[in-house]
Amino acid sequence: MRKTSTDDVSHPDTELYGADRKSFSGPLNKRTTRKSARFNLPEDGGSNSSGSLRSRNNDDYVEITLDVGDDSVAVHSVKTAGGADVEDPELSLLAKGLEKRTSLTTSVVRNASSRIRQVSEELRKLTSFSRRPQVGNYDRSKSAATHALKGLKFISKTDGAAAWAALEKRFDDLTAGTTGLLPRSLFGECIGMNKDSNDFAGELFDALSRRRNYTGDMINKAQLKEFWDQIADQSFDSRLQTFFDMVDKDADGRISEEEVREIISLSASANKLSNIQKQADEYAALIMEELDPDNLGYIMIENLEALLLQSPTQTVRGESKNLSVMLSQKLRNADDRNIIQRGYDRFKYFLDDNWQRVWVLALWIGAMGGLFTWKYIQYKNRAAFDVMGHCVCVAKGGAEILKLNMALILLPVCRNTITWLRNKTKLGVVVPFDDNLNFHKVIAVGIVVGVTLHGIAHLTCDFPRLLRATEEEYEPMVQYFGEQPDSYWHFVKEPVGYTGIIMVVLMAIAFTLATPWLRRGRLNLPKPLNKLTGFNAFWYSHHLFIIVYAMLIVHGIKIYLTKEWYKKTTWMYIAIPILLYAGERLLRALRSTVKPVQMLKVAVYPGNVLALHMSKPQGFKYKSGQYMFVNCKAVSPFEWHPFSITSAPGDDYLSVHIRTLGDWTRQLKTVFSQVCQPPANGKSGLLRADYQGDNPFPKVLIDGPYGAPAQDYKKYDVVLLVGLGIGATPMISIVKDIVNNMKAKQEADEALESGGNSAMPPASPLAKKNTSNNFNTTRAYFYWVTREQGSFDWFKGVMNEVAETDHNGVIEMHNYCTSVYEEGDARSALITMLQSLNHAKNGVDVVSGTRVKSHFAKPNWRSVYKRIALTHTGQRIGVFYCGAPAPVKELKQLASDFSHKTSTKFDFHKENF
């Protein structure tokens, strides 16, 4: 039996009607200026009351009907004033929350006035939250709900019965020794999670067990099947409930701040985000502040869902259907062409992308072929051919190839000459100077070919023929070889013999230690062979070339079959390259001593990175993207190592960021760390060199600058800068240069507008310089991909400066942390929520600690190219990459594909280390 009450309710936009229900209405129109509805309820309500408040404007208000009991308030219905049901899930969530909260009150009878006041507060929040247009049923295939449906995945992939079959097999393998019971510690491995997620998998195991009232730390196959069915459930509501159960450890239907703190720590651990772990208390308080504004001390499942549905991420926006449709309309389909046409297109595209390399290699191969043929014909017409036959022709042709390549191999490493040619001449249009080191390696292959032809032809053919020749056949050879030899020792003991052997041995050592797996220390050899790996072994072995060239000159002078000095051409080939290279080395030595630098600042960052800030020598001019060599005598007086310059040309200092990847860099960090001790909290240690006495830092010499691919970025109006790990260093210099040029351009424009106004301050030197500088870049996209959260500390100041300075959106910054699971994974769901909250409130990203919002996992490079191609139709984009070689193939191929199939052209440049 229902008792009724007809209490008066006073509100300017509502009127009371009905005798047994109370209905409150609040504005839904998003354009209304009212922030919340106020309901003046009397404090003498009856013990059981129902009522209704109706909107005067049926189009703008909603009617909510409540049943108010002694110890509960139930939602009867939610309708528009016109009588139609309202199925907006956000209203439903709040209505359910209202019903749950009031039903959870204690059984002790409270007076009606307190209940009514509570209802009033809930309704006020409801009307404030729901002021937006309603469009019938809520569709979870649109807007942010689409992102939410992709989210909270506990496993990356489910293939129905096939996935369960694979899981069942893993279960059988893991439980072979446990009588068919799977322990909690192996649950993550069984369902396909990696070892880094063991703690997270354990909490998931506990949540699934609590839901089914299972006790113990072991489950059988049938129970695992129940767990799996829930984990693999594609319903977002099911995944949300599972995630809520993980957080709600005491299973009371509420999440406390302590439980939020624990799940933050757990998620941060699974994603290797140590900084978030350390600030778990602060971030837990932030989430409670957002989801528990009434300080109830807990949050409900609907609060989590509301936060998840708040807004889609940048990734979702970038992957919009509109872009995909636009691109599909622009891309030309080549599959409908015949095989000849497709082959022709591929060949044409190859020439378009590689014509510079093609003509240089063709010229090189042609030169080797011409010299080999010329020498072959020459010796075919000499007396030695009658005794040694075609073997001597092959040997001498191989020798000519060897001499040419021994001359050429020095040119690609004449860095000063190459830098001058690319900066001061137009040869860069036709000569691929960026491929100098690759050409150096290709020439090394040519040397191997020449040595092989020359050595094998002599050892296996020429010398045996001389040993087997009759006296009559050997007679013409006496003038060249002396008395007829009776063994190989005759040839070995002569200068020609032992110099040739020494050259081959030293070349073999240098070439072997230059291979990537030895130079980068990828092989773990036992002691003392481990000394043969690493950069030091490569560097010292490569300097054996001094002995090799000395032996080559002796070998060329003492050759058997040529007596006239002007026909001994070895020295003619190598004289100019050797003098040029020697002059370069002398210039480097003089320049490093004439232009000394003083250390200004040293920082030791997380991720084993050492930052050196030093004074800029007088007259030291460089471009962003270039590099210089660094020498530290405290580590090695002879070794010079190249590092990208991270300061901008307009800065009054030089800086490099060095990651400890090899033996020399490790020793360098050790030497500087003795002076600059990082603090115990793991943050960057910083020590300035402003001392009254001697500078405590080790002496550092520099040599440079030298040209690099990234220095040509100013040729393009739009650039795509991609840095992988420490490969971001040249890109950071470019970003800083763009910021400085933006500031300078702004100052110059202001000075121009001021005209003859003497009250205006004069333009800065940088602004004056910018007026004559052909700076064309109007848009830059910077993508930095790194594995560790601490890496963002390296360039935190630069990223914040860009965010504060770039008001016109010239530079678009994208940080990617690959240690974090991709967006949508349950292990990163709370990190995503926390990131959105903290960035909205404080403007700081929780992952990078900067104002630039971070992305998770690896970028979708096809989507990146797609968006740029459609945004800058018909333009030429400069793509600059620096980092490990792994992504080069994909980035280069995408640049080629989009250049050929859209009107946007991408020029790809790479710099590997």
pLDDT per position as a tens digit, 703-732: 888 888 888 888 888 999 999 988 888 888
pLDDT in tens, 277-301: 888 888 888 888 887 778 888 888 7
The one-letter amino acid at 474: Y
Average pLDDT of the residues in 182-205: 84
Judge contact between 405 and 450, C-beta under 8 A.
Answer: yes
783 closest CA partner among 818, 827, 743: 818
* E-strand stretches of 636-688: 641-644, 653-659, 685-688
For 794-836, what is each residue's pLDDT tens digit? 888 888 888 887 777 788 889 888 888 776 677 777 777 777 7
**Rounded Cα–Cα distance for residues 246 and 264 (Å):** 12
What fold, for 148-247?
Recoverin; domain 1 (1.10.238)
Instruction: Read off the pLDDT of each residue in 414-438 and give the average, rounded to a whole number.
Output: 85
Tens digits of residue pLDDT in 870-912? 888 888 899 999 888 888 889 988 998 888 888 888 989 888 6
Please report the sign of the dihedral spanned by the C-alpha atoms of residue 377, residue 378, residue 383, residue 388.
negative
Q: Identify the three-state secondary structure at position 332.
A: coil
Q: Where are the domains of the chain?
A: 148-247, 366-493+562-590, 596-707, 710-749+774-818+858-912
Helix ranges restricted to H, 409-484: 415-424, 436-457, 463-468, 471-474, 478-481
Q: Which two tokens stand for residue 467?
A: 């040993």
pLDDT at position 96: 45
Q: Is the dihedral of CA 450, 454, 460, 465 positive or negative?
A: positive
CATH fold of 710-749+774-818+858-912, please? Answer: Rossmann fold (3.40.50)
CATH number of 596-707: 2.40.30.10
Does pLDDT of 663 surpass 90? no
Order of strands, edge to edge, in the sheet holding 599-605? 653-659, 609-615, 599-605, 685-688
- Range among 84-88, 169-173, 359-363 rated most confident: 359-363
pLDDT per residue as tens digits for the range 524-568: 777 777 777 777 788 888 889 999 999 999 998 888 887 777 888
27 DSSP β-pair partners? 61
874 touches 904 (CB < 8 A)? yes
> Computed over its alpha carbons, how large is the radius of gyration of the chain?
38
Which secondary structure element, helix H or strand E, spans residue 586, and what is its range?
helix 570-594
Q: What is the C-alpha to C-alpha distance for residues 204 and 430, in angstroms, rounded to an integer?
A: 61
If one counts every other C-beta atom within 10 angstroms of the C-beta of residue 487, the result is: 9
DSSP state of 643: E
Answering whether pTM is above 0.75, one says no
Q: What kind and span of H or E run contains 157?
A: none
Highest mean pLDDT among 599-608, 696-705, 855-864: 855-864
SS3 of 448, please?
A: helix
Distance CA 233, CA 32 (A): 41
User: Cα angle at 663 between 661 and 665, to 5 degrees?
Assistant: 60
Q: How confident is the model at residue 39 (pLDDT cuts 50, 70, 90)?
A: very low
